Structure 1
Amino acid sequence: MNFWEFLVWMFWIYIVISCIWIYITILIDLFRDHTMGGWGKALWVIFLVFLPLLGALIYLIARGRSMSERRVAEAQQAQQATNDYIRTVAGGGKSPTAEIESAKALLDAGTITQADFDAIKTKALQG
């Protein structure tokens, strides 16, 4: 095997791996799509199995825009879930009333002074 044959083999291996990646991405998108029914998904899978290249090209042309919109929506939903989790862990999700109530309980227990309570109350009311 000479150098050029090696390059041709590497090219075809790259093409095969790229095609497999595209098919897997299409199948994942197909099964995550909530707007399409079961029969539509089954027909797309049959089309992709029996005519893979043509099926993938038609899928990307016909549903490529909605494919990217679903991916963006999933990313935004994941980001929102992460932000909500961080807020709850950090304590940023407490309302001013809840902060004042917890500070009042600490004041009544003698853990903080009246000046500390007033500072917490002022901070909670300012937002």
Structure 2
Amino acid sequence: MDYPLLNAFWTMCLIFLWVMWFFLLFRIIGDIFRSSDLNNWAKTGWLVLVLVLPFLGVFIYVLARGRSMTEREVARAEQQQKQLRSYIRETAGTADESARHADALAKLADLKAHGDITEEEFQKAKAKVLT
């Protein structure tokens, strides 16, 4: 069991580099499939290059399309953020609007119950609230 500390450190570095290599490879393959500016033949060519000659293919891909890869990722993140904000506005707005309608109807019912407004006035005000 003679395994020096430096060898353990070197092994950990190699494992880390190996994991990072696969992370980069899968990220590039995902970018190839998500890229809308490439036609199917170009996607196939990049994919073959990256899979057949992985080190050279990844190196060439990063040099040729690295900047646009980042731009596409940023645009995708911004689009997802816009969709999330839109969804939150729609959901929160609907709940808030429903609560306002319910409060207004409750106040109208209370006014009618106390005799402050007539049935006809209640129906007119109710129609305004519901439209």
What's the C-alpha RMSD, in Å, of the aligned pairs? 3.0
- Quick one: which amino acid aligns to residue 56 of structure 1? V
Q: 1:72 aligns with which of 74, 77, 89?
A: 74
**Cross-structure match for 1:110:** 108
Cα gap change, 1:57 to 1:112, in 2 (>3 Å): farther
Q: 2:51 aligns with which of 49, 56, 74?
A: 49
Q: 2:16 aligns with which of 10, 14, 23?
A: 14
Name stretches of at least 5 consecutive residues in structure 2 with no aligned partner.
112-116, 118-124, 126-131
Which structure ranks higher in relative contact order (CA pairs < 8 Å, sequence separation ≥ 6)?
1
Matched, 1:32 2:34: yes
- Quick one: which amino acid aligns to residue 24 of structure 2? I
User: What is the deviation of 1:64?
Assistant: 0.8
Listed one character per residue, the Cα deviations across residues 69-100 of structure 1 (whole Å, up to 9, x for unaligned) are 111111111111111111111117x9xxx99x
Alignment TM-score, normalising by the size of structure 1? 0.72
CA distance in 1, matches of 2:81, 2:70: 16
- Quick one: which amino acid aligns to residue 9 of structure 1? T
Sequence identity percentage = 34
Alignment TM-score, normalising by the size of structure 2? 0.70
- Quick one: which amino acid aligns to residue 41 of structure 1? K
Moved over 2 A (4+): 109-114
Matched, 1:87 2:93: no
CA distance in 2, matches of 1:112, 1:74: 51
CA distance in 2, matches of 1:34, 1:8: 41
